[in-house]
Amino acid sequence: MRNEFHDTLDGLVVDLADMCGRAAAMMTSATAALLSADVYRADALGADLADLRAIGIAVHDRAYHLLARQAPVARDLRTVVAALHIGADADRMGGLASHVARVATRRHPVPAVPGEVVDLFTEMGSTAVQLAAAAGAAVRSGDAAQAERVCAGDQLINDLHQQMFARLAGPHWRHGPMVAADVALLGRFYERFADHAVEIARRVYFQATGRHLGVQPAQSI
């Protein structure tokens, strides 16, 4: 019975890592669609999101059944609870990649990102994708040190986000309010995508150690 339980648990972990990989691939596509004003590529993300959501619902239901039928404890319980949260985070990351794609579609055929900030968005895209892939690897390995490194990588996106605002506020900005609004929202989508990758890594850390990363021991379990 315990073997069947652990097989199911292993399957859940594989699916969660797969969800992170899919979210990363979606953000790669969304960024490419955004920077090349490629509306076909942007539109294709709708089907990707539906697939991701279906996996997320299946993961949720299986995690739920494990709790109901197996009453896991200690690290196994932490893994199942983490699965519930990680599935929700990865789903949200897919949603944010779709938001990026939707901005590309909304402004088509004009590129939503003006030339002055293309470099920043290129870098935000690749950093966000790397964080998602690293979060997926941490989910797969369940390794606390690997999870901790993902959390440290968040600062890069925040720095890029700050630079974006500096350019928006700078003397060379020549675009209208809708472009400014889009750029601000896009920056926010990338930042939140990265936040969720970090949140996933924090869940892995908790699952591995029983401690909340960056929280004093008194508040840990």
Q: What residue ranges bind a copy of itself (CB under 8 A)?
A: 57, 61, 64-65, 67-68, 71, 73-74, 77, 81, 84-85, 88, 165, 168-169, 173, 175-185, 188, 212, 215, 219, 221
Residue 186, CA distances (Å) to 153, 183, 219 in order: 19, 5, 35
Nearer to a copy of itself, 25 or 187 (CB): 187
Nearer to a copy of itself, 135 or 137 (CB): 135
Closest contact distance (angstroms) between CB of 213 and a copy of itself is: 13
Q: How far apart are CA 214 and CA 161, in angstroms?
A: 23
Closest contact distance (angstroms) between CB of 123 and a copy of itself is: 19
Closest contact distance (angstroms) between CB of 61 and a copy of itself is: 5
**Which residue in 84, 91, 212, 196 sits closest to 150, CA to CA?**
196
Nearer to a copy of itself, 56 or 125 (CB): 56
Closest contact distance (angstroms) between CB of 75 and a copy of itself is: 11
Nearer to a copy of itself, 57 or 145 (CB): 57
Phi and psi (nearest 5°) for 136?
A: -60, -40
Closest contact distance (angstroms) between CB of 15 and a copy of itself is: 15
Nearer to a copy of itself, 137 or 198 (CB): 198
Distance, first Cα to last Cα, the chain: 27
Instruction: Give me Rg for the CA atoms of the chain.
Output: 19
Q: Is residue 76 exposed (0-12), middle (13-18) or buried (19+ Cβ within 10 Å)?
A: middle
